[in-house]
Amino acid sequence: MASEPHHPTIPPGDHKAYMEYALEKARLSPPASTKFCVGAVLVDADRNTVLSTGYSLKLPPNPGSTHAEQCCFIKIAQQHNLPEERIGEVLPPNAVLYTTMEPCNKRLSGNRTCVERILGLGGAVKVVYVGIREPEVFVGENEGMERLRGAGVLVEVVEGMQDQILKVSTAGHEVESQ
């Protein structure tokens, strides 16, 4: 598997800079009226290094329906020649996920949700930084953040980028003039 391009150097704990990097990835997702353009970055917070990145629609097994968080996990699985469900065994102790949009808790495609994927790693991802809540466009209210918190995952919203993230996330959606 080809390695990812060089990642930017981001100061430790600069959550906004990591979210900006995730937003850069979200911009790579092809706009469509049927989905959101989301970016994600998986980080080893102890070493301050990017482990993997992803964006909506990037990778098989179902190109067109893979979510950004799932892409991050698939890349780790490929690097370690493991099924995605077992990457918790190889993730560093302080793996942190940045995602421009709240991880999904319901999917119309029937695929496994991002919340289930995170929780299925047995506590390997203890912190998730979120840019915005999922708009209620496709599945109604998303309770992803609440479900993660209820399972002991720390979920923090990175403030100050909501307008930017919403604009990128909804690229390709018809917007009614207000």
Q: pLDDT band at 1, cuts 50/70/90?
A: very low
pLDDT digits (tens, 9 = 90+) for 104-126: 888 766 678 899 999 999 999 99
Residues annotated as part of the active site = 69
Mean pLDDT, residues 139-154 taken together: 86
Q: Which token pair is 143? A: 């309770």
Tell me how far apart the terminal alpha carbons of the chain are, to the nearest angstrom.
47
Q: pLDDT band at 160, cuts 50/70/90?
A: very high
pLDDT value, residue 98 = 97
DSSP 115-169: HHHHHTTTTSEEEEEEEEPPPTTSSSS--HHHHHHHTT-EEEE-TT-HHHHHHHH
| Sign of the Cα pseudo-torsion (104, 105, 111, 114, in order) | positive
pLDDT digits (tens, 9 = 90+) for 23-36: 999 999 888 887 88
For the chain, domain boundaries: 24-169
Domain 24-169 part of CATH 3.30.450.20: no
Burial environment of residue 177 by CB neighbours within 10 A (0 to 12, 13 to 18, 19 or more): exposed
